[in-house]
Amino acid sequence: MSFDGRTALVTGGTRGIGLAIVRALRREGARVIAIGKSKEQVAAFRSEFAEDPLASVELADVRDRGALEAVRQHMTDLDILIPNAGVNTRVKALELPDESLREMLETNLYGVFVTCQVFAPLLFAKPGGRVVITSSVSAIHGMDLRAAYTATKAGLSGLVRSLAIEWGPRGVTVNAVGPGIIETPLTRA
């Protein structure tokens, strides 16, 4: 499958699954804009793709609507939106600190919702827009020590179904991919 002439935006695109998505899209010819929240990971991305004019990266946190809107202001075209940024922690539900719970809800659910809101107008500008949200198999099966993470991913299932109904008539498909456990820095933590 060729993605020549298409532009994709990948949140969480500087590490783990997101970086693998960026690499795959570039191999298939897409212009890719990654969003990452870590200065170190953004720098590593720039180093890896220094010779590639079709791969770029922006420093932004998906929990910050203003930061996402600043990225969008520089864009004129978008074909594929991949809200992939996420956080996870392995802890018993009764021991999960409020701070960790809020970070997970704000990144995994709110961040995806806001990412879709901010970038959807670019997708509506021409037919054939695609949204592919990274969910998790845990949204269906649940996982030990990951109650909050599972709850956020289950919430994404509802979001995907609702956006597919709402945006389908406008020519934009909305789907989710639910990988199992993939070895990444996030799952090793």
Question: Could you tell me if residue 1 is inside a domain?
Answer: no
The domain containing residue 39 runs over which residues?
Answer: 7-188
Query: pLDDT, tens digit, for every residue of 122-140?
Result: 999 999 999 999 999 888 8
The dihedral built from the CA positions of residue 49, 51, 55 and 59, taken in this order, carries a sign that is positive
Mean pLDDT of the region 74-93: 97
Burial degree of 103 (CB within 10 A; 0-12, 13-18, 19+):
middle
180: pLDDT strictly greater than 80: no
Catalytic-labelled residue, pool 45, 49, 149, 167:
149
**Residue 122 sits in a domain of what CATH number?**
3.40.50.720
Q: Is residue 2 part of a domain?
A: no
> Is residue 93, in this structure, part of any structural domain at all?
yes
Q: How confident is the model at residue 178 (pLDDT cuts 50, 70, 90)?
A: confident
Residue 101 included in any domain? yes
End-to-end CA distance of the chain: 34
Q: Is the pLDDT of residue 173 over 80?
A: yes
Burial group, residue 98, by CB count within 10 angstroms (0-12, 13-18, 19+): exposed
110 is catalytic: no
Look at residue 189 and tell me whether its pLDDT is greater than 60. no
Q: Specify the pairing of strand 129-134 against strand 80-82.
A: parallel
Residue 91 lies in a domain: yes
| Domains held by the chain: number | 1
DSSP 79: S
